[in-house]
């Protein structure tokens, strides 16, 4: 694994020192600190980029914006932590702009970059090992054109994250996520192996292996009601006989289609729309559910809502994050997204719920379901029995909900 690198761009020497010390404790071994845009760009270009950039926008925010766009355009960082107060409404726009350009963006606000604050802020940040200075979504290829980042050792493992009812706090199902377990026990996240599987044409093979592992895990529990959801990419449902292959797989597993939901990601437009629609209709007629994933953050979201027979709407974590930060527009957008889902007769699931305050807000807004670290992180399929018995999770500490337990 490549050593983690970071650069701190702040005018205050004290703030730079605080951030550098915190990053060192977080495992960043190659650290630089500068006080101006020019020095920052020189350092970034000379060392080929960094995994993380901390940038204070209080000093000349316009020039800082230009710097951040250059960083994104030249792929000089994988993630950026923005600090400093911003004009109302500008943070959301800046975050969206930089994400469109390939950066993972975090907002520190006016707080100092202390160890505790950065540890919490970067909890989900997974610096990629893709070569710095190249587009993050382009992996190196061998002579045959197959992605070279396809792992040569280890195996695919299904990790399950619980989904709960907001009203009752009961677990009603799990989202099944792909992980790659190396021979030494280390776990790779999708960004580190999924491009290789995609280019090798193995997405369907991955899906059916995940289905097998997850179904077998539920079967050992003797539970006939818990539901499973799986992610699909647009290119998968554009394949001839994809729905038929799913039906065969479910028949072989002896698993009821009504307990399966497929989440259609919003990262790209549909391929071959007539064939895609045919596959989706066959899946729905089979009895499977269909969720629109990352609602509010994707491609032609409203158009897809009108065209495809969805049964669920999954709200993107950015609609839920910081909903209590005092910005009334966030609450308005969230309330209306929930109202839209209800009007369309869809089950609405809020993603990225990490705090009791977020959960209380969702309860007040009468959101149907929720998913996030507050209820449980993704876990190996072999661990869900222990989880459902309540060993690692103590939701009774939350004032607003009951302890999480499996739905009866």
- What percentage of the chain exceeds 70 in pLDDT? 84
Phi, psi (rounded to 5 degrees) for 273:
-50, -45
Res 305: pLDDT: 84
Q: What is the pLDDT of residues 162-192, one digit of tens each?
A: 999 998 888 999 999 999 998 888 888 888 8
Q: Which of 371, 294, 311 is nearest to 346 (CA)?
A: 311
Q: What is the pLDDT of residues 128-153, one digit of tens each?
A: 543 444 333 333 333 333 434 556 67
- What b/e string do you get for 117-133 counting C-beta neighbours within 10 Å, with b at 16 or more? bbeebbeeeebbebebe
Question: Which range in 31-45, 240-254, 380-394 is most confidently predicted, on average pLDDT?
Answer: 240-254
Query: Where do we find the tokens 């802020």?
Result: 121
Name the pLDDT band for 248 (thresholds 50, 70, 90).
very high
Q: What is the pLDDT of residues 27-81, one digit of tens each?
A: 887 778 888 888 888 888 877 788 999 999 887 787 888 899 889 888 889 999 9
Query: Where do we find the tokens 């280890």?
Result: 154
Angle between helices 61-73 and 90-100 (to 10 degrees): 20
Q: Which of 359, 378, 377 is nearest to 368 (CA)?
A: 359
- Could you count the other beta carbons within 10 Å of the beta carbon of residue 13? 10
Tokens of 341: 């889902």
First to last CA, the chain: 44
Tokens of 297: 């953050």
Res 185: pLDDT: 83
HSE, side-chain direction, 13 A CA sphere, residue 236: 23
CA dihedral 69, 70, 74, 79 (to 10 degrees): -50
CATH no., domain 156-404: 3.20.20.450
Query: Where do we find the tokens 């179904």?
Result: 215
Res 402: pLDDT: 44
- CA of 189: how far to CAs of 60, 81, 207, 258, in Å? 37, 21, 15, 29
Q: Distance (Å, rounded) from C-alpha 171 to C-alpha 248?
A: 28
Averaged pLDDT of the chain: 82
Q: What is the pLDDT of residues 324-369, one digit of tens each?
A: 666 788 889 899 999 999 999 999 999 999 888 889 899 999 999 9
Res 211: pLDDT: 95
pTM of this structure: 0.64
Residue range 4-122 in CATH 3.40.50.2000: no
Spatial contact of 376 and 168, defined as CB atoms under 8 Å apart? no
Is residue 153 packed enough to be buried (19+ CB in 10 Å), middle (13-18) or exposed (0-12)? exposed
Tokens of 250: 């479910």
Would you say residue 404 has pLDDT above 70?
no
DSSP-derived secondary structure letter, 141: B
Strand (E) or helix (H) holding 109: strand 104-109
Domain locations in the chain as residue ranges: 4-122, 156-404
Q: Determine how β-strand 312-315 pairs with β-strand 170-181.
A: unpaired
For the stretch 12-21, contacts whose Cβ atoms lie closer than 8 Å and that sit 24 or more positions apart, written own/partner, are: 12/56, 15/56, 15/83, 15/112, 15/113, 18/112, 18/113, 18/114, 19/54, 19/112, 19/113, 19/118, 21/115
Q: What is the pLDDT of residues 276-318, one digit of tens each?
A: 888 998 999 999 999 998 887 655 478 778 878 899 999 988 8
Res 230: pLDDT: 98
- Could you count the other beta carbons within 10 Å of the beta carbon of residue 220? 11
């Amino acid at each position: 694994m490549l050593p983690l690198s970071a650069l701190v761009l702040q005018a205050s020497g004290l703030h730079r020192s605080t951030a550098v010390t915190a990053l060192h404790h977080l495992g960043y071994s190659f650290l630089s600190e500068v006080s101006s845009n020019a020095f920052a760009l020189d350092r970034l270009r000379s060392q080929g980029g960094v995994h993380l950039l901390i940038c204070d926008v209080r000093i000349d925010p316009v020039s800082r914006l230009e710097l951040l766009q250059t960083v994104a355009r030249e792929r000089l960082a994988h993630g950026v932590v923005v600090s400093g107060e911003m004009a109302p409404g500008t943070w959301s726009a800046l975050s969206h702009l930089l994400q469109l350009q390939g950066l993972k963006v975090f907002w520190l606000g006016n707080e100092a970059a202390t160890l505790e604050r950065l540890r919490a802020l970067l909890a989900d940040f997974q610096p990629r090992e893709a070569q710095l200075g190249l587009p993050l979504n382009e992996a190196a290829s061998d002579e045959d054109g197959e992605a070279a980042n396809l792992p040569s050792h280890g195996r695919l493992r299904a990790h399950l994250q619980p989904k709960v009812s907001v009203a009752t706090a009961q677990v009603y199902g799990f989202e099944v996520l792909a992980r790659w377990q190396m021979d030494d026990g280390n776990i790779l996240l999708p960004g580190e192996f999924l491009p290789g599987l995609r280019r090798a044409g193995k997405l369907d093979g991955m899906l059916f292996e995940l289905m097998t592992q997850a179904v077998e895990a539920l079967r050992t529990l003797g539970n006939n009601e818990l539901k499973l959801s799986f992610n699909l990419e647009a290119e998968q449902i554009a394949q001839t006989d994809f729905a038929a292959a799913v039906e065969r797989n479910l028949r072989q597993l002896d698993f009821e289609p009504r307990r399966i939901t497929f989440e259609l990601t919003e990262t790209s437009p549909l391929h071959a729309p007539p064939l895609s629609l045919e596959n989706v209709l066959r899946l729905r007629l089979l009895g499977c559910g269909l969720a629109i994933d990352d609602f509010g953050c994707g491609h032609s979201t409203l158009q897809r809502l009108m065209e495809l027979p969805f049964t669920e709407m999954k709200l993107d974590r950015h609609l839920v994050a910081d909903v209590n930060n005092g910005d009334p527009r966030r609450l308005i957008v969230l309330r209306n997204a929930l109202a839209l889902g209800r009007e369309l007769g869809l089950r609405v699931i809020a993603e990225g719920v990490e705090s009791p305050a977020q959960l209380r807000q969702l309860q007040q807004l009468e959101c149907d379901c929720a998913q996030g670290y507050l209820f449980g992180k993704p876990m190996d399929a072999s661990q869900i029995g222990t989880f459902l018995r309540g060993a690692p999770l103590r939701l009774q500490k939350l004032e607003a909900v009951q302890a999480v337990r499996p739905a009866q």
